Chains A and B, each alone.
Chain A
Amino acid sequence: MSDNYEPKILAFLCNWCAYAGADLAGVSRFQYPPTLRVIRTMCSGRVDPLYIAGGLINGYDSVFISG
């Protein structure tokens, strides 16, 4: 893996906690790498295993679920 490897990460964030947390990180201006592509769900329980597979099939390097 080269030093400048930048993964593309698919993220599913729960509307009530993790998504709000990601907003708060913004308000607090915490800096993090621009590698996440976020999809908001109303619960992390909404994340169907098929979405995870779909993410990987579509070429994301990893899938992140937070809730």
Chain B
Amino acid sequence: MEGDPGHFSARVYQTPRYVDISKCTSCADCEAVCPVELQNDYEEGLTTRKAIFKKYTQAIPGTYAIQKTSPAPCKLACPAGLNVQGYVQMVKMGNYKRALEIIMEDLPFPGILGRVCTHGCEDACRRCEVDQPVAIRDLKRLAADQYDPREIQLSSKPKRDEKVAIIGSGPAGLSTGYFLARKGIGSTVFEALPEPGGMLRVGIPEHRLPREVLEKEIEVVTNLGVEIKTNTPFGPNLTIDQLFQQGFKAVYLAIGAHKGIELGVPGENLKGVRQGVAFLKDVALKGTTEIGKKVAIIGGGNVAIDVARSAIRLGAEEVSVIYRRSRDEMPAFKEEIQATLDEGVNIVYLSAPQEILSDDGEVAGVRCIRMELGKTDSSGRRSPIPIPGSEFDLEVDQVISAIGQQPDLSSLTDITGLEFSRWGTIEVNSVSYATDIEGVFAGGDAQAGPWTVIGAVATGKEAAESIERYFDGVDMSAGREIAPIEDVEYRPVDEVEPGVDRVKMPELPAAQRAGNFNQVELGYTEEEGQSEASRCINCSYCSDCGLCVEACLPGAVNHMELPVERDLDVGAVILTSGTDVFDPAKLEQFYLYKHNPNVMTSIEFERILSATGPTNGHLVRRSDDKEPKKIAWLQCVGSRDVNQCDNGYCSSVCCMYAIKEAVIAKEHAPSDLDCAIFNMDIRTFGKDYERYYERSKELGVRFVQARVHTIEEDSNTGNLLLRYATVDGEVLTEEYDMVVLSVGMEPARSAVEMAKEIGIELNQYNFVQSEEVAPVASSKPGIYVAGVFQGPKDIPHSIMEASAAACAAGLDLSSARGSLVKERVFPEEKDITGEEPRIGVFVCNCGTNIGGIANVPEIVDYVKGLPNVVHAEHNMFSCSQDTQEKMVNVIKENNLNRVVVAACSPITHEPLFQETLKDAGLNPFLFDMANIRNQCTWVHSDEKEKATEKSKDLVRMSIARSRYLEPLEYLTVGVNNPALVIGGGISGMTAALGFADQGFPTTLIEKTDELGGSAARQLKKTWKGSDITAYIQGQINKVENHQNITVLKNTEVVDSSGFVGNFETELKVGDLSQTIKHGATVVATGGRATDTDEYLYGQNPRVTQWHDIEENLDKFDDINTVVFINCVGSRDESHPYCSKLCCTASIQEALQVKERFPDARIFVLHRGIRTYGEREDLYREAREKGIIFIKYTPETKPTITEVNGKPEVLVFDAILGRYIQIEADLVNLATAIEPEENNAVTSAFKLPVNEDGFIMEAHVKLRPVDCSTDGVYICGMVHYPKPFEESITQAQAAVSRAVNVLCRQQVNVEPIVSTIDQDLCIGCGLCIKTCSFSAIEAETIEGLGVRAKNISALCKGCGVCAVACPQQAIYMNHFNNDQINAAIKAGKSIA
């Protein structure tokens, strides 16, 4: 991110969603077919979800997304790039056809490779990190065993004219033919041998690869039109030139590597010495070959093993494999080596032949020398070194060499232009596989040297791509270099349940193998395969199986979507990146969180309590699904803890949520549930939180002041034994069914990285560093912060900060306000006055969501017969763009004047269809919806006929109602753009400046004769120690001198009338009356500390309150002992709430005393210390500096008596169990904070106050600065006691909310309002009484008397007045009696 306020350029990386949100209808069809089960993060891992998922039911946007990361390691390890995870998942589901479709996208031979593949994928499998790799190869085979690959419909491009000659019918040649055919290119394969298949046929014995499997899969290739000519060797009679002359446009050389490498020892030419490849070829083509009685095979690869196992089957009595390294280094498959040993072959390790011994020209034995392993060589294995003098002889009559193969180049050496490597292989371009001769390509073992079958297939696939490009005349290499994937990201292995053994492949018993070539590995059963496949970790999350693409009828899924890097031009930036919760697994030994399922985090427990959670709100514990009888909450897990973790701060929210969880748990529990909250202090410092705390005690929630020091498990019951010490030192052990860990908040890790990236300063806990005077500003101008990333806080405070940040950003951008707004233009509205209803009905299938259950065509036929219906049709998706366009035309063509859509919910889709009506020139209120999806087919999916009947009823009701629909107009009311701010304290001044700096004329009224409020009078330093006196004076000067601010001192509100955007308020300025017009009001009348008559206050000069102690520090010179008393008149009957500020203020003052008088003894007497958030650091500092904290209860309140003119404090210390007498030099009291008297304001603006006199917000959590009267906002202490910086935040938030109104030219009033017929009205006033929104008032009309009058701008359209009116004089727009009665009637009887 670069730039300055007003002009930032931010580069963002957008992860693809893979689902087009404009097309997704959220029907969940994709979810049903997705094979990948993952932990449901939203449900805290308590349930599973699919890889294609909607985060939660109410998520916005309410559409699906696919979780997908880097390609899985198995896919990356496969030379041919097979989508391994995809087909493994399909095998898991038993969908073998789809598995083969996935495999055969990249490979024509599923059954062959399912048997003989070297499976590098399994070495890469991340299941190895848990136990053994998934048996990928065997699962591929199962798919091919279960479904005939020849039946798979392969996608192919249209046929084209060019033909290709392929030399060699091995895996490379046949694959090339296969991939060419799928590109529409025909080919002929020329094979020297009498049978096709190359090494697949003549190199791999039948016990590993049965001939029928080979034949079947060669047919897969020939079925695509690939022609194979056997007995047609390349060479003098078939040259490249001839092939081109015959019309082939390209040649692919894939002659393989069929020539065995010679041993290079004396006696190699003796009779009875032969090459392994020749031996295997003979066996393959003739069924048998010459075999000795005692056979020695030289080599350690798969060929050596194949020869050995074939020799045993052909009747050799003694077979030895001689290998120069040890078993670990043998290149043959591990399972093959084992099978070889099982079948009786003797493997002689660490030995190499030196000479073949002869007897009469025939082999009589082989002389070997022992080897030892030396240093690691270039192959990565330790190189064998002969041990001098260790020669020994093996008596054999046949020696078969199997130390490697190379291409037989005899047919190629004459070709001009063809180059060869020093290993005797054909040289090609490493990307395109093109040789230096134009139109000639090469691959397979002839080009790569002896490699694997899957490697040969890969080269064939690449060559086919090159040949197509060659024919198309485009660059053969462009875009094909494989870039290494950086920063691979996979599903973490620890999410996977540990330890499930790999399913063993069933084998033919060793005893039944001799004398035949029957297949040894028998293949998995379906059950075995599915259980093996379910071991897959799903490294990439999504397996790319493509089933969702097929399932999605609107075509919303696009797996090809790519991540997007966007450059955003923005004027300001707001960081709201939230929180992670502390992971208690970090303290596993103590909390047993991972080990015992009945220990869960509070966030998990929230899900258990949720009606939409994993147990549908049924309170059960996880180990046995039983209802718990006793639950313990442990507070401060990962908070207020610098010993076990580095989170020294208080997370501020945990006490409150723990109490809430305990209360709700008790509501949910059928029996008497015992809920105990183990805490250090209960911190219910928010508005009305203390009341909730007290109420929870009445409901029986127990609060135990103790930190549990040991948790043990009862392994029989899964219960937990908590050991703790009580305040007076007794050690207790209690048994609980469940333990809930109240985990604290941490800044989101990703947010911390981002902040560092863009250079935002963070504090020691990684929260964004901010100043008290600008609480939502980061260290970089123009970048703001809100929510927990700024510091731990609850929802109301987070929302305030969000609005405050919007205000701060608005200040930077006010000059550009409205410059990017575009207005949409609609055609002129048609007048339908006097027209008969002409109703059009559109019934939606919603894919299969409605149509799959209700009989939609039947519904359409049915409604066609209903009165006034002139058009009815059904649509696949009524909400799709094309249907919308069609609908506009249908409305116009049929001259419709009412439209009914029977589909989903009006709550989500009515606005969309109303726009469609506007596009067609109809008033949007001539529209109605029948909810036949959410409230019918989705909830009656098993009762298709009844769902159809209900749908008919609902549509009929909607049609009946629509006959009475009337066009309605939006009323618009002009907006006065000045703001009125009431109260000249820090909140009021912040608000006034917020308006004025954005250009809005502002009147600031203050009832006293000076600005500054209680902060200016009292506060010198914030709790962080910043001196704010200069700041406050600066603000006063700014306000007084601002051209947009009129300051009226000695001024009070008398009365106010009007509504949002249009207030008229009468003021008393001094003795004069003045009326002002304004569009919005901010009430910031503040609060004050109460006086007390307790503790000798007002009687002894050494007893002060709040910050007044600062004066006494200068006044007295004998300051040795200072006592602070908290909660004076707080949290008792007089003020049954917490004043929030006092704990911090007392500690702040105590520390100041300590600084000035380091030897002074300082006591803080309290009822629980509530230093929330990072204020906890102050509390810790105080304790570290020796300040003594003594907790008292309302029953053991301290007392003070005057002794020798000094206050003597007596307090009961529960830890010591006795009274303590403190001879104090100074006593300071933290008294309760009350709202300033503001009756005139609350009655003028009709603002409700709570029991404590604080003004009530519109919604405690979600609208913390709005009042129930629209256009009126609150901030500062009038809302609740709060510290300086929170007042500033709330003032900025109030400005931001008010500017939403003030910046508009006019406000639109929803037309769904009531209208009063004053001729029918009798002025009884019932409607005025019942209206909750003050939207009806009485007016006196001459000649009639008192009549009710609407204030439509305030009306919320509830219609209660219409019901209350005894005269039926009130008409409720859009929900009138005719409309509702018609629907009632139609729902039961056929209208």
Contacts and interface: CB of A to CB of B under 8 A. Distances in A.
A51 B1380 contact: yes
A22 B907 CA distance: 11
Contacts of B939: 25-26, 29-32, 34
A33 B1096 CA distance: 71
A58 B1388 contact: yes
A27 B1387 contact: no
B935 A23 contact: yes
B931 interface: yes
Interface string A8-25: 101000010001101111
Q: Which of B57, B908, B1362 has the most CB of A within 10 A?
A: B57
Instruction: Name which of A24, A30, A45 has the most chain B CB atoms within 10 A of its CB.
Output: A45
Nearest to B1361: A45
A46 B941 contact: no
A22 B935 contact: yes
Given A28-B57, A48-B1363, A51-B1384, A42 B1375 contact: yes
Residue of A31, A34, A49 with highest tally of chain B CB at under 10 A? A34
B1387 A10 contact: yes
Contact of B1375 (A19, A26, A46, A55): A46
Interface in B847-862: none
B1357 interface: yes
Given A59-B1388, A59-B1389, A24 B57 contact: yes
A34 B947 CA distance: 7
Interface string B929-962: 0010111101111110011011001100100000
Given A27-B938, A39-B1380, A42-B1312, A58 B1360 contact: no
A46 to B, nearest CB: 4
Interface residues of A, number: 38
B924 interface: no
B906 interface: yes
Contacts of A54: 1381, 1384-1385
B907 A23 contact: yes
Most buried by A among B58, B936, B1372, B1388: B1388
Nearest to A49: B1363
Contacts of B1359: 41-43, 45-46
Nearest to A37: B1387
A51 B1388 contact: no
A37 B1385 contact: no
Interface residues of B, number: 46
Interface string B1374-1391: 010100110111011100
Interface in B1083-1117: none
A59 B1383 CA distance: 13
Given A10-B1388, A54-B1381, A58-B1384, A38 B935 contact: yes
Contacts of A51: 1380-1381, 1384
A27 B57 contact: yes
A51 B1372 CA distance: 14
B1 interface: no
B1358 A34 contact: no
A41 B1375 contact: yes
A58 B1385 CA distance: 6
A31 B931 CA distance: 16
Contacts of B1375: 41-42, 46
A39 B1383 contact: yes
Contact of B934 (A10, A26, A41, A46): A26
Contacts of A19: 905, 907
A20 B612 CA distance: 14
Contacts, number: 120
A37 B950 CA distance: 8
A23 B941 contact: no
B1381 A15 contact: no
A31 B905 contact: no
A36 B931 CA distance: 12
Contact of B1363 (A8, A27, A36, A46): A46
A8 B1372 CA distance: 27
B931 A46 contact: no
B58 A8 contact: no
B946 A34 contact: yes
Contacts of B934: 22-23, 25-27
Contact of A26 (B935, B1372, B1377, B1384): B935
A23 B941 CA distance: 15
A46 B1360 contact: yes
Nearest to A48: B1363
Contact of B942 (A15, A30, A31, A58): A31
A30 B611 CA distance: 12
Nearest to B28: A29
Contacts of A55: 1384, 1388
Contacts of B26: 27
A33 B1267 CA distance: 42
Interface in B1187-1208: none
Contacts of B1362: 46, 48
Contacts of A36: 935
Given A39-B1383, A58-B1384, A34 B940 contact: yes
Interface centre among B942, B950, B1362 (most CB of A within 10 A): B950
A58 B957 CA distance: 13
Contact of A37 (B954, B1356, B1357, B1358): B954
B1352 to A, nearest CB: 15
A53 B763 CA distance: 66
Nearest to B849: A26
Contacts of B957: 37, 39
B853 to A, nearest CB: 11
Contacts of A30: 939
Given A46-B1363, A48-B1363, A37 B1388 contact: yes
Nearest to A40: B906
A39 B612 contact: no
Contacts of B954: 37-38
Contact of A31 (B935, B941, B1356, B1389): B941
Given A10-B1384, A31-B940, A31-B941, A43 B907 contact: no
Nearest to B1312: A42
Contacts of A32: 939-940
Contact of B933 (A26, A28, A48, A59): A26
B480 to A, nearest CB: 46
Contacts of B906: 40
Which of A10, A32, A46: most chain B CB closer than 10 A?
A46
Contacts of A37: 950, 953-954, 957, 1387-1388
B24 to A, nearest CB: 14
A22 to B, nearest CB: 5
Given A23-B931, A26-B935, A51-B1381, A8 B1360 contact: no
10 contacts: A22-B934, A23-B935, A25-B934, A26-B935, A31-B940, A36-B935, A42-B1358, A42-B1375, A48-B1363, A58-B1384
Given A25-B939, A43-B1358, A58-B1388, 9 more contacts: A8-B1388, A10-B1388, A25-B935, A28-B612, A33-B940, A48-B1362, A49-B1363, A55-B1384, A58-B1384
Across the A-B interface, give the 8 residue pairs with the lowest CB-CB distance, nearest first. Answer: A26-B934, A43-B1358, A46-B1359, A45-B1360, A26-B938, A37-B1387, A34-B946, A23-B934
Interface of A: 8, 10, 15, 19-20, 22-34, 36-43, 45-51, 54-55, 58-60
